[in-house]
Amino acid sequence: MILPCFNESRNLPYVLEKFGKVINRDDIELIVVDNGSEDNTLKILEELIPKYSFVKLEKVKINKGYGYGIKSGLKVAQGKYLSWTHADMQTDPNDVIKALNLIETRSSKDKLFIKGKRKGRPWSDEFFTIGMSFFESILLLTPLWDINAQPNVFSRELFDNLKCAPDDFSFDLFYYYLAVKNNYKIIRFEVGFKKRYFGQSSWNINWLSKIKFIARTVKFTFKLILKINFGNKLNYRI
């Protein structure tokens, strides 16, 4: 499980405590990525991690984006199944365990992609999600829904495309779409979505930030379409 953290020092004691309560097996590793934080996130992590045997620390000196942080964690992950979720306590750490149970109790595990489906969100966020899902589905000619929902769990087979993954918030879109195009069975399950315990989102601040997010995602989507159509020339596999 990859947990990217950018300026999450106040949330970390709570999220690690919760992971400690829900992880009751010794074959799970939680890789916490200090994604170039500018507060005392690294200091807090270095104090907390020795208390949890299942936690490993990965350091990113300069923040290059949400996706870059996750990629940094995935590169050192050892698990048969890979996952990521948020560190702001909006998503329940127990949801990752639920997703893992779903993938482990199914047959043909290597072709499954488990993804949350958020509920209980403000109407403005729901409206934004509906619009983005519809727009991306049209552009990519592929039904996609609640693209940024957490957690995401899949087998290492899909990991081979990591070098082509984006560094920003399009990371969730990339792997979700990749799974669909590679004929993975997409399994969604309902997850709660709460308010942040502390701090503020690095992108979901107001409608202007949402518009900027849309622009970045659309830009990446067109790049993705080009890579699909000219994959051999761009050394891209899908």
Q: What is the dihedral of CA 121, 144, 168, 82, to 10 degrees?
A: 90
Distance CA 100, CA 57 (A): 22
76-82 long-range contacts (CB < 8 A, ≥24 apart) are 76/31, 77/2, 77/29, 77/31, 78/29, 79/27, 79/28, 79/29, 79/156, 80/155, 80/156, 81/153, 81/154, 81/155, 81/156, 82/2, 82/153, 82/154, 82/155, 82/156, 82/158, 82/159
229, containing H or E segment: helix 207-229
CATH of domain 2-229: 3.90.550.10
Predicted pLDDT at 121: 83
Average pLDDT over residues 216-238: 62
Q: 112-119 and 152-155 as β-strands: parallel, antiparallel, unpaired?
A: antiparallel
| Edge-to-edge order in the sheet of strand 185-192 | 55-60, 30-35, 2-5, 81-84, 152-155, 112-119, 185-192
For 125-157, write each residue's pLDDT tens digit: 888 889 889 988 998 989 999 999 999 999 888
Q: How far is CA 126 from CA 120, 149, 234, in A?
A: 9, 12, 36
Q: What is the pTM of this model?
A: 0.85
- Average pLDDT on 156-171 reads 82
Q: In 3-state terms, what secondary structure has residue 119?
A: strand
% pLDDT > 90, the chain: 56
**Among 36-45, 114-123, 218-227, which stretch is predicted with the lowest mean pLDDT?**
218-227
Report pLDDT digits (tens) over 15-67: 999 999 999 999 999 999 999 999 999 999 999 999 999 999 999 999 999 99
